[in-house]
Amino acid sequence: MDDKTAERAEPPAQHGNWSWTLHRTLYAQTDEATVCDRERIREEFSAFYEGFMTRLGAWLYLHGWASEADAYDIAQETMRLAFEKWSTIEYPKAWVRRTASRLCVQRLAENKVLPLEDNEERIPRKADASGYAASEALHDFRAALQQLPPRQRQVLLWASEEYEPAEIARELNMTPEAVRSSLWKARRKLAEIMRAQDPGEQ
């Protein structure tokens, strides 16, 4: 019997054992790859959360759509959604801003705001990592922003995060020209408000 004949005459059970071993190895490698992917996602998201959660909360608060406690809750909910979709999100900062803005609008439309008596307990304190609204300067700036029309305020806050007019236009469904016009008006008006608030300018 030559080698080829011997190969063909090899008992099927041995082929079966080899096949089972191969599949087991492949599944083990797949499981290991999945674990590695999960760990990578967890590490990437943790870094993003630590570096951006506070900033997102402050950004929401400055819009004037929500109280400090609501802004904190919405930022947390947005981050939870971001973690679930992390592997599919290409531009995380833009994604969370867009998603958080929609959640704010949705909460307002559904009148799902926290009762005033609940707010005090849920407002982040200065010692908290999430104490983004504790600064008096932030409160003063928010008060100044509230004197702007909502669209101008929204455009100005996107621009404050270094988005270009064309990018803001895409996010807010506007034309770049309309964005630039709103920005110019918002900056001029805000400068007037801030000068009026500053005793040194009197």
| Residue 37 confidence (pLDDT) | 81
| Residue 21 confidence (pLDDT) | 59
- Mean pLDDT over 63-76 rounds to 86
Tell whether the model's pLDDT for residue 29 goes beyond 70: no
Confidence of residue 179 (pLDDT cuts 50, 70, 90): very high
CA 7 to centroid of chain Cα atoms: 60
- 112/24 same-domain check: yes
pLDDT digits (tens, 9 = 90+) for 75-98: 999 999 999 999 899 999 999 999
- 33/130 same-domain check: yes
| Residue 74 confidence (pLDDT) | 92
CA pseudo-torsion sign 79, 82, 86, 89: negative
In this structure, of 16-30, 144-158, 159-173, the range with the lowest mean pLDDT score is: 16-30
| Residue 65 confidence (pLDDT) | 80
| Residue 130 confidence (pLDDT) | 41
Q: Pick the closest to residue 157 from 175, 137, 179 (CA basis).
A: 179
- 68/53 same-domain check: yes
Q: What is the DSSP string of the chain?
A: --HHHHHHTS-HHHHHHHHHHHHHHHHHHHHHHHHHHHHHHHHHHHHHHHHHHHHHHHHHHHHTSS-HHHHHHHHHHHHHHHHHTGGG-SSHHHHHHHHHHHHHHHHHHTT----HHHHHHHSPPTTSTT-TT--HHHHHHHHHHTTS-HHHHHHHHHHHTT--HHHHHHHHT--HHHHHHHHHHHHHHHHHHHHHH-GGG-
| Residue 40 confidence (pLDDT) | 85
Q: What is the mean pLDDT of the chain?
A: 76
The residue from 134, 161, 186 where one domain ends is 134
- Domain assignment of residue 161, given as a range: 135-202
- 156/174 same-domain check: yes
The CATH number of the domain where 196 resides is what? 1.10.10
In this structure, of 5-19, 41-55, 130-144, the range with the lowest mean pLDDT score is: 5-19
Round to whole Å and give the CA distance between 163 and 46: 24
Tell whether the model's pLDDT for residue 10 goes beyond 60: no
Flag whether 56 is in a domain. yes
pLDDT digits (tens, 9 = 90+) for 99-140: 999 898 888 777 765 443 343 343 333 334 344 444 566 777
Flag whether 172 is in a domain. yes
| Residue 18 confidence (pLDDT) | 53
CA 159 to centroid of chain Cα atoms: 16
- 98/32 same-domain check: yes
- 94/146 same-domain check: no
